[in-house]
Amino acid sequence: MAGKIVANGLKFVDVFAGCGGLSLGLERAGWECMVAIEKDQHAFQTYRENLLDTKPHGLRSWPSDVAVKPWDIACFRRECASFLENARGKVDLLAGGPPCQGFSHAGRRQVGDPRNSLFLDYLSLVADLKPKAVLIENVKGFTADFGGGLPGAGRNFAAELRERLEVDYRIADTVLMASDFGVPQARARFFLVGVRRDLGASVGVSAFFEQLHARAPAFLASRGLTPSTSARDALSDLEVDIAGKVPCPETSGYLAIAYKGPRSRYQSAMNAEHASAPSDTRLARHAPEIVARFADIIRTCTEDGRLNRSISKELRDRHGLRKMALRVLDPLSPAPTITSMPDDLLHYREPRTLTVRENARLQSFPDWFQFKGKFTTGGLARRREIPRFTQVANAVPPLLAEQIGSCLAGLLRRG
């Protein structure tokens, strides 16, 4: 993601900021973040250490009347009323991705999940700030009706969002595939862009996503990239057989992947601003029988042409597995959508799960970006904590966010 950052004079607020994927991409496109709102302490620690405490990669300022700490929106609105009042009408963009677990087809998809209503909190900030533009990201399931005859069946959150925003904003929305924008991951996500109706730029909103697609090849070429990036393009320099192992500098008793340098244009772009080995390469400690199982699964899926797809029932039965989502990466194609579960994906040639850094590569995080907090968690803690694997999985790919930010800045400048 090398490239000189040129400030465009536009400012944004990032809500549900997570570890900072969306903020990073927007800043790479020249935007300046006024403030970021994120509730989870682990995700905010990652955000702070990459985008606040060290500033060579961003253009960030932070208001003096807003504490640098994790916030939920209700608390932020209550305690930062002076910031909201002073910023009203001065924010160019309110961006964010409300938590998606209740909408996702990969999860339990419950209409009553309390996290589903967080998009209403986003709308409360729209009313507070009256930004020139809005940007919302969510899972594809956000656009689907809830069914099953349960209370709330038929409810469609994307339709509700459109209806509420269209009073003051002209909007466009679509489902984007991250792999169309150089990200080595077939990640389908809902995006909505809106511009306030009293601004001339609003007339161009209807063509926004068409223009975004049209600009992608030239944008990627300027970074030395192409629209089609495979898993091997992203990860081959992190293969243990090539790079070797070292004691993990972050966790005693673990091994990590060593580093000898990039082997593809994509890897060079991710490593361009980093002078040393990337962090977060801690390897899982698989028992010998698990290694043997993974080796058989990788070999069988490769022979059967079943890469990037859930393993077959026969293979599950052979190994006594109940897990339905396990897939082996196809080295010649973009990865499937990564998830917060470290054991959902197996490496394409090495009998192991992926590291946090490898997932980050598939999300287009540059190698200088370091993740903080626990590596993973389980049980009920999954609802309370956002460890590193989940931070990566929940993020907007920065490379895609940068292209959206560049296109949106062009739209607002024309208006």
Rounded CA gap, 175 and 179, in Å?
12
Burial class (CB in 10 A: 0-12, 13-18, 19+), 260: exposed
Cβ atoms of 96 and 133 within 8 Å: the answer is no
3-class state of residue 294 by DSSP: helix
The 10 Å CB-count burial string (b at 16+, else e) for 7-21 is ebebbbbbbbbbbbb
Out of 33, 80, 100, 301, the active site residue is 100
- What are the backbone angles phi and psi of residue 268, rounded to the nearest 5°? -60, -40
Task: Please indicate whether residue 100 is annotated as part of the active site.
Answer: yes
Burial class (CB in 10 A: 0-12, 13-18, 19+), 232: buried
Alpha helices per DSSP H over 167-311: 208-222, 231-235, 240-243, 265-271, 288-303
Rounded CA gap, 145 and 366, in Å?
36
Active-site residues, by number, are 100
